[in-house]
Structure formats: C-alpha cells, structure tokens
Chains A and B, each alone.
Chain A
C-alpha cells in the first residue's frame, strides 16, 4: 500500500509537525497544481490532475488525527475496523450517551460553546495517548481502541455543528 508519509518526505509517526507537513504540501502543490499547466498540453494537464488529486488526498489523511492514525496502523498491518468492530468499553459508551443527551438539551450557543470546549480537551488528551501508544510503546492494538474512541468524539463534534445550524 502507498505510504503517504513518504510522499511528503516525513518519518511515519503519529506526532508530526503540522507545519512541516503543510510546508511540504505547498511545495509539492506549487510544482504539480493544474494552475501551473493551464496553458500546457493534454498529457501534462492529465498528469497534473492525477498528481494533485493524490497529493490532496494524502494531505487530507495525514492532517486529520483519526485518518492519520488509521493510515499508520494500516502500515503496521493493524486493521482498525471502524465499521465492524464497534465493541467499546461500557463506561465510555455510557459517557457518550450522556453527552448526546445533554447535546439534545443544549439550545443556546453558549451551552454548545461549553460542550465544544470540553470535547476539545478530551480529544487533545486522547491524541496524546494515541501518540504514546503508536510512537513510543508500539502497542498498535491499544492504539486502535483509542482511535475508535477518537472517532466517536469526532462524530459528536459534527453533531454539535448541526446543533449550531439548527439554532440559526
């Protein structure tokens, strides 16, 4: 499988320097983007479209913590199996249900702001743990469990977005 870290000249790790990734992304884009080939022949425009598409996809994957972790685990042969393996610790699920209930009750932007703040803290904590599990302990199975948790929180984040939109 393709290693997206290679494309950007980065060492495959969970804790990456966001700035280095962005810098490298921009440098590559400035060489391959279709705007650079708007006046070129068909073959070059096609190649440019394909490359830019690939670079954009890889960047998107590495920028988002869930997909970055998932890609890393796949490189190590661990399938995170988001779709099938949804068995989560009971206390985590309880906590999620409570959060969702309070989301339904949140009818003001201020209460949503408060929820979002709490969620951000939890996400940051989980990301630190994922970084430790993958980069130092190399415990990929444990990491997969944490990544699934993080994905739950991402979904909750999206639901907060829709709640904001409903209020408007």
Chain B
C-alpha cells in the first residue's frame, strides 16, 4: 500500500552495489576490523592470517612507524618509543590517566590531553590511535579491493565526551568516514543476534584489557534500547596483569626495576594469567637486565585471591546499572560476555552466581565487538533492506552540565537520557552593565565542579549592558547520535544575538585535524590535492544519489518551482564533478545542501505523519 512505502534516502537501487562498510574494535590491548560479506559478518585477517592487531605503535625513527606484532616484538627493547594501551590516554590529562606511574613514557601535559615524547616528536593519543586505525583501514581496502565507504568505531559505553571526541578525531585522521561511534556492549549484543531472536532485557558484561562496561539493553521488535550503562573506565584485564606483576615483585623480592624489566615482567604476568584459564598453575621465569633470575610458580587459588577485589569491583557497576534500569538481577534474560578477560574462570563464576544463570559465551569474546560493529556499519551504509534492519536507541553515559555560582554543577542533560538529546537553560547577568559571561561545561555526576570532568570553557561576549538580571542568556546543549556535545549560547535581549559553538577542549579543532592530515599526507608523500578531489567527488556523488532517491520518493512535497531549484543544483554539481578542482565541487555540494534543507524537513514531517497513520490503521 502506497501509504507505507517510504524509500530510504540514498538507498542504492541495485542491491549488489553494496557500499563497503567496516566495523572497527579499537581496543586497549588488541584491535580488529570486520565487514559483512554475502550477509555474514567476518573479521578480516592480515596477510599472515592473524585477526588481532596488537594496539601497539612504535616510533622507530623520525620516518618509520611499526604497528601491531612488529611493535610488540620490540616493546621491551624500546619502551619509551613503543606506545601500548594508548586507549587509556585518549581524552585524558596527565592527572587522570591510570597507571601512569608505571608507564615508561615521557609525558608532556598538552592542553586538555596529555602527549608523549617519542623519537619522532611529541605525539598525542589521537595520533597514536590513528596509526592503528590506518593499518586496519589499509588491511580492509586490500582485502575488499575497493574504497571504504564508511566505518563504525566502537568505544566503551562509559567513555565521556572527551574520549569519544578523541576517538572520532583519530578515525578522521586515519582517513575514515566515521559513520558512527558505537558502544562496545551494544555491538556485542548485535553480534549475538539478540536484535531479531529475542524480546526482553539483557546485560552485557564487557571486561576488556583496559575498561569495564556493563550495559542493560532492552530489545523489542527490532528496536534496540540501551536503558542503562555503567562501568569503570579504569578497570580491565591489564589490572589483573598488574596484580600478578606486583605479586611476582613481592614474591621474588625484587629491587626497583628498569623500564625494560618492568615491561618484560608484565608480559610474563599476562602469559601466566592466560595460562591459568586452562591450567592449575603457571610458572613465571625471566632473566632481568641486572642478571637476576626470576622463577616463581603461581597457582589458581593464589591468582583468585590476589584478584578477588578486582572481580568484586566489577559487580558494583552491575548493581548500579540494574538500579538505574529499575530491575532485579533475576529479571535479566541473559548475560553476554565480552572481552578476553572474561575467559578467566573466576569471572565466569562470579557473573553466573550474581545473575543465577550461565552467561552467554559461545562467540569468541575477542571478536564479538568487531563483528557487531561491522553489522551496524552495514546497516548505516544503507546496505540492508528496510524491515531487515534494526534501530539502536542509545543513551548518554554521564550527565552534562555547567558551572554555576559557588563552583556547583547544574545538570542540563542527566545521564541515561536517550540521544540525540537537546536541552536549553536560561541564565542572566548578576552585575549591572555586565557585557561578558563565562560558561564552563562539565561532565559527571558529582555536585562540585572540581569533582567533574571539565569539557570546555568559553566566553560569551557582546551582551548589551543592562541592569543585573535583565539579560536573557540561553545556553543550549545538543548531543548527537555519537554522544558528542556541542554548546551554543545566545543572548536574546534588544534583538541582539550573539552565538558561539564550542567543541569540548579535549577534542581537536577542525583546523588541527586538517593540519595533521596535511602533515601525515606529506609524510606519506600523498598528493593532498588529488586526495581532496577524490573525497569531494565521493561526497558529491553520494549527495546526488541521496537527493535523487528523495525526489523519487517524495517529489510531491515540493512545488514545481522548488523541485526545479533542487534539480538545477544537482545539475550544477554534476557538471562540476567532472572538473579537476575540489573547491568548486565543495561549493556546489554546499549549495545543494542548502537547496534541500526545506525538503528534508518536510520529508521528515511526512514520515512521522505516515508512521502515525500506519499505527492508527494498524490498531483499528
């Protein structure tokens, strides 16, 4: 029936012309890339058939960079230039990154985010991460034989705005069109196929290398709703290694260690931890640079007792998420286990006891997130027909607010609000003739601003001088589908409007991204101009396709004149696509976007009306 036929914009008319879309699990310890081929998600291995890429980047000299196994092989030789677990530093300052005292790097406290001094210069965690993403992008391009249309990158559900922004920036820096940042536990639930098989409430217990996440998901009729998220962004499998490491140091009565020995023993500690999953005891041997020998035996019982507090520490966020969702443990229909660390028997046991049911663990816990991300990327790229796709409704993990008088936080968007979300609050001046106002944006649950994370500070200037309390300043928060915030402030008296958009201070300004892209292209001797041209052509083509599909579906919403204007804009863009300069193409894209603004709004209205009409007809 015509009423319900809503064509998705940009949906390619021939199904075999699927867009190449990838899902990337950018992990603390390992990263993976996956895609959907012939309807099946699969992890893409490297040339040696290895699925995992260790998240390790080594700056060999000013030019050469090693990523993955090559970097891992040299990490104890060259610890200062070999960055491991960079995810811990994303969007973090020196003050608030964990384990920094044990990390062998020369940290530089950059504005907002820390940086690391290497042989190739000072590097930000965003740049280090982009090296990992670049390797995965190239792996996918090689294996899929084509240009990647877009990527979904996963992040811990508990990541704050600064960490999400940093991740997205790293994606852009690696030359990826980031379709969406997706929460890791949600990706795992998608991989388990919960979206079509099940109705009910599920928990995802995700203990990765560096982060712990607990999400409560509600599934019904193809809609995926994250009802609560909780976790600890400073707790993961690495902490178990750390406990074993400390135990070894104590047991073998070792003197303070060099960076090299520390790294060596941490690797040994990890191996012992993994060995204990299937064995009763593990022997740890090492020859230190001092010539000293380490030879100790760790049994399961000792391992459980030295890590028991860590296991218990994961249960507090579990209880918190259940409370937020208003649920009891026995109302959860299943628990999905994610992350290599969930292989540890004591974890499986503790989770099983808490929920009084065996956890779901039949997919490889290292791969589930990447597989789910690939499936979501496939949906976002428009490759799945309507009806077979699903909808993901996500929430914001931490409250967003601003600083008010006395260093207190005023929450503007509370945590667990479904995104995209927007909210505005009005403020006024407190002094006669005040013409400026400072706005401090924070994220967190605590009352005091000093206990929350500072995201941005900006100044609203040009307020007309009035008596105290007369000015009306409207501060608007907008959180997009990636959970990223933008803030605008507008002064609305006497018809004067001053408005500013800020990007949280941990994120990079667009100009920075451009500079870094330029630098990295020069470094790779890529032709910047032809790259920009290629990108604009892809964008332009994509927009024409999307607009044509929209016209085909809903041209009836336009007057003849309006339709002609849009078609003229398409024609202009098409003509310019053949040219060899990227700037006129960009202008034509912007012009077409402007020309379709009103059309897009009307289509959206019509979509809603049709949805409601469909519902009423359906329920009669």
Chain A residues within 8 Å of B, Cβ to Cβ: 7-9, 23-24, 26-44, 46-49, 51-54, 56-57, 59-60, 161, 164-165, 168
Contacts and interface: CB of A to CB of B under 8 A. Distances in A.
A38 B150 contact: yes
Given A35-B180, A39-B19, A51-B608, A56 B391 contact: no
B515 interface: no
A44 B596 contact: yes
Contacts of A9: 612, 615-616
Interface stretch (B30-38, B68-76, B597-605): B597-605
B604 to A, nearest CB: 5
B480 A161 contact: no
Interface of B: 6, 8-10, 19, 149-150, 179-180, 220-221, 223, 316, 319-320, 323, 379-382, 391-393, 417-423, 478, 480-481, 542-543, 546-547, 550, 592-594, 596-597, 599-601, 603-604, 607-608, 610-612, 614-616
Nearest to B544: A41
Nearest to A165: B320
Contacts of A28: 608, 611-612
Which 3 A-B pairs rank lowest in CB-CB distance, beginning with the nearest? A31-B607, A38-B380, A34-B481
B421 A56 contact: yes
A53 B604 contact: no
B382 A44 contact: no
B530 to A, nearest CB: 24
Contacts, number: 136
Among the interface residues B380, B608, B615, which one has the most CB atoms of the partner chain A within 10 A?
B608
B585 to A, nearest CB: 14
B392 A35 contact: yes
9 contacts: A8-B612, A26-B221, A28-B612, A39-B10, A41-B542, A41-B592, A44-B546, A48-B604, A54-B422
B150 A26 contact: no
Given A35-B380, A35-B481, A26 B391 contact: yes
A13 B616 CA distance: 18
Contact of B379 (A35, A37, A52, A57): A35
Contacts of A7: 608
Contacts of B614: 27
A168 B316 contact: yes
A35 to B, nearest CB: 6
Nearest to B149: A39
B600 A47 contact: yes
B420 to A, nearest CB: 5
A49 B480 contact: yes
